Amino acid sequence: MNETVCISGVELLMDYLDGVLSADVKAALDAHVAGCQRCTAFVASYLATARILRDATDASLPAAVEESLAAFLRARTNAFRSR
Amino acid sequence: MNGGPAQEPSDETLVARAAAGDDSAFETIVTRYQARVFRLACRLTSETDAPDVLQETFLQVYRHLPSFRGESQFRTWLYRIASNAALMHRRAATRRRSEPLDEFLPKFDAHGQHVATPAELQVASRADELLDRQFLAGKAREIIAELPDVYRDAFVLRDLEEMSTEEVASALGVTPATVRQRAHRARLILRGYLSELVGVKP
């Protein structure tokens, strides 16, 4: 990579975060992002996306669904017979 | 899992006992994983379809446990079954988005520089502070449902269920590089979508 620009940083971001980039590419990317306000802001929002959507889509198991599951398995398997 | 007075049996122990016909071991597996499978099913389908996916998943587990070889972790195998069950349900009720999702990808000028300003690029990271919780929850489920299947599976398992890239690759039967590429694409789209929700161009 001769000159790292925002677009290549975006393309390589997942590989960067997963630690599968070569040392020289990683160093070039670090140098670019450190001096680029746009990329610094972009990386922050990229990282936040997973967290925000994880929280927004959390779901707990309703008691009625749990009971239906046990009844379903009781009817079709040998399990949950003693409940 | 150690240090407690009554140590919980490991997945491996329970799976071996259940595979040998111990139904109480299977019940313990269900109790241990039902909430996680339900949450995964909600993320991969919808709250309406998730109870059916949950039932189908554990029925498949019961039937196929005797042939589970332990080549992957039990959890990986379980999530593979759940992902497939979810896919079957999605096939039954497929919704397609009218506009292409590419509109949410970041934009660059001729020099490869971000078109948006730093403030505009930053704003998606505050979507949860800026938007009503219920509204965001509804929109999040909507846009995840509209992702192409392969992007949704990779993103949900990797980022929402927080599995490792290797574990997701094993669950989906693809290479780690493919998981990275698909999860990355989904993140870019979803990041842009959050930006639009708070009124800023991606």
CATH of the domain at B35: 1.10.1740.10
pLDDT of residue A44: 95
Last residue of one domain, picked from the residues B55, B70, B92: B92
Residue B127 within a domain: yes
Q: Is it the case that residue A81 has pLDDT exceeding 80?
A: yes
What average pLDDT does range B38-61 have in this prediction? 96
| Chain A residues within an 8 Å CB radius of B123 | 45
| B118 and B84 in a common domain | no
Calculate what percentage of chain A has a pLDDT beyond 90: 92
B114 phi/psi in degrees, rounded to 5: -55, 135
Please tell me whether residues B125 and B60 are part of one structural domain.
no
With a cut of 80, say whether residue B66 has pLDDT above it: yes
Sequence letter at residue B154: A
- Residue B71 confidence (pLDDT): 76
Bridge partners for B114 per DSSP: B108
Is there a single domain that holds both residue B60 and residue B111? no
Structural domain harbouring A33: 6-76
Check CB contact under 8 Å for A49 and B191: yes
Q: Is the pLDDT of residue B2 over 60?
A: no
Write down the ipTM of this complex: 0.91
Q: What is the DSSP string of B60-71?
A: HHHHHGGG--SS
Across residues B62-81, what is the average pLDDT? Answer: 91
pLDDT score, position B98 = 60
When divided into structural domains, chain B yields a total of 2
In-domain check, residue A31: yes
In a domain, B202, yes or no: no
B182 found inside a domain: yes
DSSP, res B93: T
pLDDT at B160 over 70: yes
* Rounded Cα–Cα distance for residues A81 and A78 (Å): 7
Of B88, B94, B25, nearest to B55 (Cα)? B88
Residue A60 belongs to some domain of the structure? yes
* Nearest residue of chain B to residue A11 (CA atoms): B184
Tell me: do B112 and B86 sit in the same domain.
no
Are B51 and A69 an interchain contact pair (Cβ–Cβ within 8 Å)?
A: yes
Give the pLDDT score at B197.
Answer: 95
Q: Binning pLDDT at 50, 70 and 90, where does residue B70 land?
A: confident
Both ends of chain A: CA-CA distance in Å?
Answer: 64
Q: Stretch A58-69: mean pLDDT, rounded?
A: 97
> Residue B88's closest CA among B41, B147, B129, B156?
B41
With respect to residue A59, please indicate whether it lies within any of the assigned structural domains. yes
- The residue out of B92, B110, B144 marking a domain boundary is B92
Q: Is residue A82 part of a domain?
A: no
Residue A81 located in a structural domain: no
Range of the domain at B185: 101-197
Distance separating alpha carbons of residues B141 and B190, to the nearest angstrom: 11
pLDDT, one tens digit per residue, over A7-50 is 999 999 999 999 999 999 999 999 999 999 999 999 999 999 99
- Cα torsion through A59, B33, B64, B157, rounded to 10: 50
Query: For residue A2, what pLDDT is reported?
Result: 47
The type of residue at B71 is E
Nearest chain A Cα to B48, which residue? A65
**pLDDT at residue B80 is higher than 50:** yes
Q: What is the pLDDT of residue B96?
A: 61
Measured CA to CA, the distance from residue B201 to residue A29 in angstroms comes to 24
pLDDT at residue B200, rounded to an integer: 81
pLDDT band at B92 (very low <50, low <70, confident <90, very high): low
- What is the reported pLDDT for A47? 95
Is A43 a member of any domain? yes
Q: Is residue A83 part of a domain?
A: no
Could you tell me which chain B residue has the CA closest to the CA of A75? B59
Domain count, chain A: 1
Q: Grade residue A4 by pLDDT with cuts at 50, 70 and 90.
A: confident
Q: What tokens does A42 get?
A: 């972009």
Asked if B191 and B167 sit in the same domain, the reply is yes
pLDDT score recorded for residue B107: 95
Please report whether residue B3 resides in a domain: no
User: The domain spanning residue B132 has which CATH number?
Assistant: 1.10.10.10
Residue B161 has pLDDT above 90, yes or no: yes
pTM of the model: 0.92
- Which of B118, B136, B184 is opposite residue A13, by nearest beta carbon? B184
For B170, the enclosing helix (H) or strand (E) is helix B165-172
- Is residue B79 located within the same domain as residue B107? no
Last residue within a domain, chosen from B75, B92, B109: B92
Q: Rounded mean pLDDT of chain B? A: 92
What one-character DSSP code corresponds to residue B122?
H
